[in-house]
Chains A and B, each alone.
Chain A
Amino acid sequence: MRRLLALVVKDLYIYRRELVWAWVGITGMTWGMFQMVKPSSPTRALVFICSLDLAVMVGFGDWLAYHEKSKGTFAWIRTLPLSDELVVSSKFIANSIIQIGAFFLPVLLTMPVLLRLDWIPWTLTAWLAVLAMASFMLFTKLAMSRRLGQAVPFIAAFSIILILMQLAKRFPSLLEELMYSVWTPPILLLLECLTIFGIWYLMCRWISAKDTPQLVD
């Protein structure tokens, strides 16, 4: 546990400035945008926040995973008494802390205050969906080549934004129903948990199978 904590704190400390800028930036941009265009429903507001959050995911995926490859620090980490599972878990935890902040700070600071919307995404589904997406971004940055690692997250992020916009436009009631319901369908929760665990497992297997020079550029 002490080792895990040291790894997480190390990542958050190294990127503390970027982290503060990301949190302040995403909240400020959401605030500014909502001042100009007041979304009529929480669904539309959430689509906007999710779009910004996906950009943060791509950026921090780069910092947490790709920088370790490009700067060669993975080579040093692998000389320390740390299991591959522990290293991957620490990345997942650091990434989750960053994304939870990037997703919920703007939601909490804008929706109830600025838009007088009574909805806050307390459902576990919303949290897990953000974490699953952030985990996927991390994996692509670590496992793929630089070009592919840049392209795939953007394509994925763009696709999700398009889907969310279409859902908000065509089926607003369905999306809102899902958002407003505190009790999420268990199958959906299970699927999200399995997705996150699956990505974690794949990442552990992938790293363990690689020689260190294959993990650094």
Chain B
Amino acid sequence: MDRAVSDLVVRDLVKGFPGFQLGPIGLEITPGTACGLLGPNGAGKTTLLNCLAGQLTPDAGEMLWNGVRISRANWRLRESIAFVPEQPKLYDGLTVEQTLRFCSAVFQSWDREFVSEWLVKFGLPLKKRVRVLSKGLTVKLHLLIGLAHSARLLLLDEPTAGLDPESRVELREHIRALINDREVCALISSHLFQDIEAMATDFSIIRSGNLVFGSSLEEISDMRIYRTASADLLGLSGESRHLLKSWTKDGEHFLLVHEPQPREPLPEDDWMCEKPDLERLYFLTREDGS
């Protein structure tokens, strides 16, 4: 598949509800990349995923998958998109086997070998009704359905929410393996930093309907936060440093800097430096009031 056209591209996406507006949001995900979506409750993570899954019609902007506009009318596009909502609602009167048989008739490309293999890996009981499955098994069944039709875009809304620690670790390992093996694009929302770190390659932080910060997880190790009395002291014009974000709190300047090379020494009294982790970055986006 041509890498150039198999990206997910979101441009100026807007979806409004009474008292809340998502966007305008822009986003791009390339194959083999999983973007973790972090944000507080009500920030717009589920709304964004629902728009991408064709569950909500945006008020403005466009969403392109494989160069084709995502919309309800383009229902064939859903052959290549797998959406696992936070609370999967399958037909509880059907067994796992019947649910999979129904799906095999609905999807044009259905990989029976993959289903057989992953049924065992996931430990899904074929003869049990969906209503008696645990939350973890229901999510796994949903995931299996999404992947058995060779979806190239995974949209996972808090896939590990409500799972016990063992299931959570197991599920995120499976998801990570599938993303790597199949070179798919993934957008995963979660409240758990560990989940994002384990499953994603990139992350985006969404607050009050807007993406306020995003980067690759690898780049975090090259980031520094400087707290200075005067921002000018750092002399950020050098090529080895790149200012990502700046804000002021209680009269002090904070600078988030991408700095792959060690910086030149400065008078230590004038600045303090720390290496952030994902959690620190998440809370920084709250502290700066953006």
Q: Which of A81, A82, A212 contacts B50 (CB 8 A)?
A: A212
Which partner residue on chain A sits nearest B146 by CB separation?
A79
- For the side of the interface on B, what is the size category? 20 to 34
Q: Which of B23-31, B77-85, B240-248 is the contact stretch?
A: B77-85
- Whole-angstrom CA separation of A72 from B89 in the bound complex: 6
Query: Of the candidates B78, B91, B92, which one forms a contact with A10 in the assembled complex, judged by CB atoms under 8 Å apart?
Result: B91
Mark the stretch among B37-45, B101-109, B192-200, B269-277 that contacts chain A: B101-109
Q: Is the CB of A75 within 8 A of B89?
A: yes
Among B52-60, B164-172, B176-184, B206-214, the stretch in contact with A: B52-60
- With A3-B106, A81-B107 in contact, is A213–B92 under 8 Å at CB? no
CB of A84 within 8 Å of the partner chain:
yes
**A83 near B75 (CB under 8 angstroms)?**
yes
Contact of A78 with B55 in the complex, beta carbons under 8 Å: yes
B residues in contact with A97, CB < 8 Å: none
A83 and B76 CA atoms in complex are apart in Å by 8
Does the CB pair B92–A71 fall under 8 Å?
yes
A170 at interface by CB-CB < 8 Å: no
Q: How far is the CB of A129 from chain B (nearest CB, A)?
A: 31
Measured as residues with beta carbon below 8 angstroms from the partner, the interface class of chain A is 20 to 34
A14 contact from B77, B93, B106, Cβ within 8 A: B93
Q: Tell whether A84 pairs with B72 under 8 Å between CB atoms, given A10-B91, A14-B93.
A: yes
Residue from the list B56, B78, B94 in contact with A81, Cβ < 8 A: B78
Are B90 and A10 interface neighbours, CB within 8 A?
A: no
CB within 8 Å for A14 and B91 given contacts A6-B105, A79-B83: yes
Using known A-B contacts A5-B105, A6-B102, A84-B72, determine if residue A79 contacts B92 with beta carbons closer than 8 Å: no
A70 to B259, CA, bound (A): 53
> What is the distance, in angstroms, from A211's C-beta to the closest C-beta of chain B?
5
Q: Considering only CB atoms, which chain A residue lies closest to B57 in the complex?
A: A211
Within 8 A of A (CB), among B97-127: 98, 102-103, 105-108
* Binary contact readout A49-88 vs B (1 if CB under 8 angstroms, 0 otherwise): 0000000000000000000000111011011111110000
**In the complex, are the beta carbons of A14 and B94 less than 8 A apart?**
yes
* Cα-based distance from A212 to B46 in the complex (angstroms): 13
Q: Which residue of B lies closest to A6 (CB)?
A: B105
| CB-defined contacts of A208 to chain B, threshold 8 Å | 72-73
How many Å from the CB of B80 to the closest CB on chain A? Answer: 9
A79-B76 contact given A6-B106, A10-B102, A14-B94, CB 8 Å threshold: no
A2 at the interface (CB under 8 A from B): yes
Q: Are A3 and B105 in contact (CB under 8 A)?
A: yes
Is A197 an interface position by the 8 A CB rule?
A: no
Complex interface: chain B residues within 8 A of A13 (CB): 94, 98
Q: Which residues of B contact A212 (CB under 8 A)?
A: 50, 55-56
Measured CB to CB, the closest approach of chain A to B211, in angstroms, equals: 22
Query: Which chain B residue shows the least CB distance to A86?
Result: B75
| Contact (Cβ within 8 A) B93 A2 | no
- A contact residues around B54 at 8 Å (CB): 78-79
Across the two chains, which residue of chain A brings its CB closest to B53?
A79
- A211 touching B55, Cβ below 8 Å: yes
Q: Which residues of B contact A216 (CB under 8 A)?
A: 89
Complex CA gap A208/B57 in Å reads 10
**Could you tell me which A residues sit within 8 Å of B by CB distance?**
2-3, 5-7, 10, 13-14, 71-73, 75-76, 78-84, 208, 211-213, 216
- Known A2-B105, A83-B75; 6 more pairs at CB < 8 Å: A14-B93, A76-B88, A79-B78, A82-B75, A211-B50, A213-B50
On B, residues with C-beta under 8 Å from A are: 50, 53-57, 72-73, 75-79, 81, 83, 85, 87-94, 98, 102-103, 105-108
Enumerate 8 A-B pairs (CB-CB under 8 Å) in ascending A order. A10-B94, A76-B89, A79-B78, A79-B81, A81-B75, A81-B107, A212-B55, A213-B55
